[in-house]
Amino acid sequence: MVRHYCGGVTPCINRSWTLFTWNSKIRYLVNQGHAHDALLLFRHMKRTALTPNNSTFPFLLKACATLSHLLNSKIIHAHVLKSRFQSNIYVQTAMVDMYVKCGQLEDAHNVFVEMPVRDIASWNAMLLGFAQSGFLDRLSYLLRQMRLSGIRPDSITVLLLIDAILRVRSLTFLGAVHSFGIRIGIRDDLTVANTLVAGYAKCGDLGSAETVFDEIDAGQRSVVSWNSMIAAYAKFEKCGEYSSLYVFQRRGCSIGKIFV
- Which tens digits make up the pLDDT trace of 10-58? 667 888 899 999 999 999 999 999 999 999 999 999 989 899 999 999 9
Q: Are residues 141 and 233 in the same domain?
A: no
Residues 143 and 236 in one domain: no
The angle at the Cα of 80, spanning 142 to 11, to the nearest 5 degrees, equals 115
Same domain, 161 and 226: no
Question: Is the residue at 113 inside a domain?
Answer: no
Residues of the chain predicted below pLDDT 70:
1-11, 238-260
Other beta carbons within 10 Å of 110: 13
Q: How many domains does the chain have?
A: 3
pLDDT value at residue 199: 95
257 secondary structure, DSSP code:
G
Model-wide pTM > 0.85: no
The type of residue at 130 is F
How many residues are given for the chain? 260
Burial class for 79, CB neighbours closer than 10 Å (0-12, 13-18, 19+) = middle
Residue type, 33: G
| Parent domain of 223 | 200-260
Residue 4 located in a structural domain: yes
Whether residues 168 and 224 fall in one domain? no
CA–chain centroid gap for 162, Å, is 13
Residues 47 and 78 in one domain: yes
- Report whether 94 contacts 61 (CB < 8 A): yes
183 and 237 share one domain: no
- Contact between 154 and 147 under an 8 Å Cβ cutoff? The reply is no
For residue 258, the model assigns a pLDDT of: 45
My answer on whether 19 and 99 are in the same domain is yes
Q: What is the phi-psi region of residue 37: left when phi exceeds 0, alpha when psi lies from -120 to 50, beta otherwise?
A: alpha
